[in-house]
Amino acid sequence: MTQYLSQLYQRLNAVRGRRVFIIPTRFGFIYAGFLILILLGAINYSNSLGHVLCFLLVSMGWVAMHHSYRNVAKIEFINAYANPVFAGQAIKFNLLFENRCHRTSYQIELTSKQSKSRSWNPFERLGGFAHNYTITQLKAGDTITVHYPVPSLRRGYQSLGQIRIASQFPLGLYHTWSYFTSDTKVLVYPQPLGALALPLSKDSGDQITDPTQKGNDDFSGLNTYRAGDPLRAIAWKALARDDVFRIKQFTGYQGGQLMLSWDAVAQVADHEARLSQLCKWILQADEAGIDYGLNLPNRFINYGYGDVHRHHCLTALALFDNE
């Protein structure tokens, strides 16, 4: 039955577009109560202006409902993106919203829910929603990027799930809300953990001592930037001088090459802990300027360095054995 209703709701939704829900708040009910009292008083004293005031306030409440609806109805969710994070870190989502109305919207509260299915129950208001953020003002036709942190749960892809925008503007008599479902997925790397040291000695047989090999320690000159060069090596001062991207070249201790393999962490008992250990090693190797590769049971990544390579390796860890 629930499933049937859920399906029906989603079908309806497809026909009509986004749904906006509205119910009176606590103050809305109190307001209504006061109005009833005023009406009773007006009737009892046959007071015409009492009637007028009561009807005016009723109408104000009614108009406020439309304003409240308007405030939320034309806010559109455009997309969301976020950079990969390590498990345990907050995912810093950037949510892009647009006000498609020709009037300004105010006080839009954002919440999200970590669930994949969209609820058919409109009264599911606060259950499961957390992490408030408020857009105080969104002018007509404007877009806004909201930095919205969401805690990462576990390695792998994590989607934003359901986002709810809600508002009580203008009078606080109504609670208006609407849902968006985002398909945006963010990669969560394993948490870098582990007590094992970087397995340097084992695998450093073919160490290269050529001084021309690039290293991290001693500055040896500038070279033109090529795609894939690490951002942190960009010579910003030089850039300011003559507008050419250059890379600082270093020579010095060469870390050599290092293959981080699944076997090396075989002593760690837990599956996830092994991945965490590998993750930590990758970061350490990257930091140390060692060329490293990754050898997993179902995946082999050859030696390399740089941000792209690191992402490559970490992605492999994040998605390892993930059905």
Partner 1 sequence: MAGLSLGALPHFIYQPIWVAIIFIAMIFWRIMAIRHFWPLPTKQISSFKLIHLAIAGIAFVLLFISYGNLIGRDAGVALLTVMLSLKVVEIRNHRDYYISCFLGYFLVVTNFFYSQNIPTALLMFIVVIIMTASLISLNDSKKSLSNKGLIKLASSMLLQAIPLMLLLFVLFPRIAGPLWGLPQDAHSGKSGIDDSMTLGKISQLILSDEIAFRVRFKDQIPAQSQLYWRGPVLWQTDGITWTELNKRHVMSHRPDFTTSGNEYAYTITLEPHNKRWLFALDFPSEPPLTPASHYTYDGQLRSIKPINQRQQIRLRSYSQFSLNPKQDDVINNALQLPDKLHPRTRQLAQTWQQQSSQPTELINKALAYFNQNDFYYTLTPPVLTGDTIDRFLFESRRGFCEHYAASFTVLMRAAGVPARIVTGYLGGEINPVDGFLVVRQRDAHAWVEVWLEDQGWIRIDPTSAVSPQRIDQGISTIMPEGFNTPLLMASSRQLIDLWHTIRTNWDALDNAWNQWILAYGPELQKEVLQKLGMTKPDWQTMALWLAMGFVLVSLLISFYLFYHRPRYDPVSQLYSTFCKKAARAGCVRPKQQGPLDFARALKQGYPHLSQQIDHITELYINLHFGKQTVSMSDLRFAIKQFKFTPSN
Query: 257-283: buried (b, 16+ CB within 10 Å) or exposed (e) per residue?
Result: bbbbbbebbeebeeebbbbbbbbbbbb
The single residue among 97, 169, 292, 305 that binds partner 1, judged by CB under 8 A, is 169
The single residue among 96, 144, 146, 171 that binds partner 1, judged by CB under 8 A, is 171
138 CB contacts (<8 Å, ≥6 apart)?
75, 97, 99, 104, 105, 106, 108, 144
**Which among 39-47, 192-200, 221-229, 267-275 is the span making contact with partner 1, rule CB under 8 A?**
39-47
Contacts to partner 1 from residues 67-86, by CB under 8 A: 67, 70, 73-74
Q: Which residues pair with 299 in a beta bridge?
A: 296
Contacts to partner 1 from residues 126-155, by CB under 8 A: 134, 136-137
User: And the tokens for 23?
Assistant: 């119910």
CA of residue 265 relative to chain centroid, distance: 31
**Which among 26-34, 118-126, 208-216, 288-296 is the span making contact with partner 1, rule CB under 8 A?**
26-34
C-beta closer to partner 1: residue 38 or 95:
38
CB of 57 to partner 1, least distance (A): 7
Question: Cis link prior to 170 (omega < 30° from 0)?
Answer: yes
CA distances from 319 to 156, 185, 188, 271 (A): 5, 13, 9, 13
21 lies in the binding site for partner 1 (CB under 8 A): no
Q: How many residues bind partner 1 (CB under 8 A)?
A: 47
CA distances from 52 to 43, 108, 187 (A): 11, 33, 60
CB of 190 to partner 1, least distance (A): 39
320 lies in the binding site for partner 1 (CB under 8 A): no
Q: How many CA atoms lie within 13 A of 166 on its CB side?
A: 27
36 lies in the binding site for partner 1 (CB under 8 A): no
C-beta closer to partner 1: residue 106 or 262:
106
CB of 50 to partner 1, least distance (A): 5
230 lies in the binding site for partner 1 (CB under 8 A): no
C-beta closer to partner 1: residue 72 or 279:
72
The single residue among 1, 3, 15, 45 that binds partner 1, judged by CB under 8 A, is 45
The single residue among 12, 56, 126, 244 that binds partner 1, judged by CB under 8 A, is 56
- The closest alpha carbon to 118, from 163, 79, 150, belongs to 163
d(CA 183, CA 99): 21
CB of 101 to partner 1, least distance (A): 7
d(CA 184, CA 92): 13
Q: Are 86 and 55 in contact (CB under 8 A)?
A: no
The single residue among 6, 13, 21, 55 that binds partner 1, judged by CB under 8 A, is 55
C-beta closer to partner 1: residue 136 or 267:
136
Q: How many CA atoms lie within 13 A of 151 on its CB side?
A: 6
Contacts to partner 1 from residues 172-191, by CB under 8 A: 172
C-beta closer to partner 1: residue 46 or 209:
46
CB of 124 to partner 1, least distance (A): 23
**Residue type at position 297:** P
Percentage helix, strand, coil for the chain under 3-state DSSP, each rounded to 5: 35, 35, 35
User: Contact residues for partner 1 (CB under 8 A)?
Assistant: 27, 30-31, 34, 37-38, 40-53, 55-60, 62-64, 66-67, 70, 73-74, 101-103, 106-107, 134, 136-137, 168-172
